Amino acid sequence: MTDPSVIPEENSELFEHHRIVADPGQSLLRVDKFLMFHIANVSRNKIQQAARAGSILVNDKPVKSNYKVKPGDVVSVVLAHPPREVEVTPQEMPLEIVYEDDDVIVVNKQAGIVVHPAHENWDGTLLNGLAWHFEKTGQKIENGFGYLVHRIDKDTSGLLLVTKNEEAQTKLARQFFDHTVERSYQALVWGDVEQEEGVIEGHIGRSLKDRRVMTVFPKGEYGKEAVSHYKVLERFGYVTLVECRLETGRTHQIRAHFKYLGHTLFNDARYGGDQILKGTTFSKYKQFVQNCFKLIPRQALHAKSIGFIHPATGRKMHFDSELPDDMQQVIDKWRAYVESRGG
């Protein structure tokens, strides 16, 4: 039976958060034992890792695992999800490794690659490629393929951070929960975005009509809080290039938020972005857009940069990437159109 005082939080990042209020009759008890009693299927080692990472707070202050919980204490903990119980076979794959050390690896993922094994995608994933890389380079990774701390959609390109041990994963999970990891994306969206910059707020949850897509619930009656910041980088009349910075990391957050804003991502078939924007007098416009779709047969979204505090050294790390060829070619094509019109 689930303890009603434990409030788990769902998140598309690979961590879970629990908040527990100690009963008025709570006897003095070490916080690691207290959490093991209240959270199902968690090991003491996992709890102690969280304590070392500064991820156990009592009354909003970090504590060690031997802290004695008292009546009325508010205990919160962020736990990294354990490795998925799937067999990951090493498979040779071209990987663009941006950075690597004993604790983390940053990969610039190509569009079309699934991050981890799941239904209908049990191999050919990024984790299969990482398992091959670690084996080839003689690295002894406990689970063989690394530990995920966040996700990127199959057809989104860009930077992905993976750790090589559970302690690093636990420390980075706390950073994702605290929204201190800096992530920027670039997206090409339909329409001329009205504001130069803005914030999109609205809970995101699975659509009640189509479980394959996420939708925005602006009154917060369903889903989880989601906040996206954006600014316009370049305008092309019919489409706009924007930069997005995320506070939260909900599934399909940018895709769902811009759909809600009325500016679906260019060629995002799942959210209707493969429908050509109407109301134009542009000669051969339909053919032009279809040619763009052929250049980028996916949503025009790229995870461009990521910044975090290194889990072992404490140094601030920041990585940036170039736009992939398919997205850059489409932007250049729109830019040429604007210039030909004297825009």
DSSP string, 294-328: HH--S--EEEEEEEEE-TTT--EEEEE-PPPHHHH
Residues 132 and 92: beta-carbon distance below 8 Å:
yes
Which one is catalytic: 153, 155, 268, 326? 153
Beta bridge partner(s), residue 201: 227
At 42, list the tokens.
């968690």
Phi, psi (deg, nearest 5) at residue 269:
-60, -40
Domain 15-80 fold: 3.10.290
CATH architecture of the domain with range 97-177? 2-Layer Sandwich (3.30)
Residues 105 and 147: beta-carbon distance below 8 Å:
no
Please report the sign of the dihedral spanned by the C-alpha atoms of residue 47, residue 142, residue 154, residue 190.
positive
> Is 153 tagged catalytic?
yes
CA-CA distance, 322 to 98, in Å (whole number)?
11
At 148, list the tokens.
């995920």
Q: Which residues, in sequence order, are CB contacts of 1 under 8 Å at separation 6+? A: none
For domain 182-340, the question of CATH label 3.30.2350.10 is answered with yes
One fold for both 15-80 and 97-177?
Answer: no
CA-CA distance, 287 to 292, in Å (whole number)?
9
Pair type for strands 239-246 and 227-235: antiparallel
Residues 152 and 158: beta-carbon distance below 8 Å:
yes
CA-CA distance, 157 to 188, in Å (whole number)?
13
Q: Which of 178, 191, 182, 193 is nearest to 305 (CA)?
A: 182
Q: At what angle do helices 166-177 and 44-52 cross, to 10 degrees?
A: 60
The residue extents of the domains of the chain are 15-80, 97-177, 182-340
The one-letter code for the residue type at 291 is N
Q: What is the pLDDT of residue 58?
A: 94
Q: What is the pLDDT of residue 265?
A: 98
Residues 255 and 302: beta-carbon distance below 8 Å:
no
Q: How far, rounded to the nearest angstrom, does the alpha carbon of residue 94 sit from its chain's CA centroid?
A: 22
CA-CA distance, 262 to 257, in Å (whole number)?
9
At 253, list the tokens.
């957050």
Tens digit of pLDDT at every position of the chain (343 positions): 333 333 333 345 577 888 999 999 889 999 999 999 998 888 888 898 888 888 899 999 999 999 999 999 999 998 887 655 678 899 999 999 999 999 999 999 999 999 988 767 778 999 999 999 999 999 999 889 999 999 899 999 999 999 999 889 999 988 988 889 999 999 999 999 999 999 999 999 888 888 888 989 988 888 888 999 999 999 998 999 999 999 888 889 999 999 999 999 999 999 999 998 876 666 688 889 999 999 999 999 999 999 999 999 999 999 999 999 999 999 999 999 888 776 5
* Dihedral, 50, 54, 60, 64 alpha carbons, nearest 10: 80
Q: Which of 330, 332, 333, 327 is nearest to 110 (CA)?
A: 327
Please write down the HEC assignment for all residues of 72-118. CCEEEEEEECCCCCCCCCCCCCCCCEEEECCCEEEEEECCCCCCCCE
Q: What is the pLDDT of residue 178?
A: 87
Task: Count Cβ atoms below 10 Å from residue 69 Cβ, excluding itself.
Answer: 21
Q: What distances in angstroms separate CA 45 from CA 65, 76, 166, 318, one per listed residue?
A: 10, 17, 10, 30
At 164, list the tokens.
């090589």
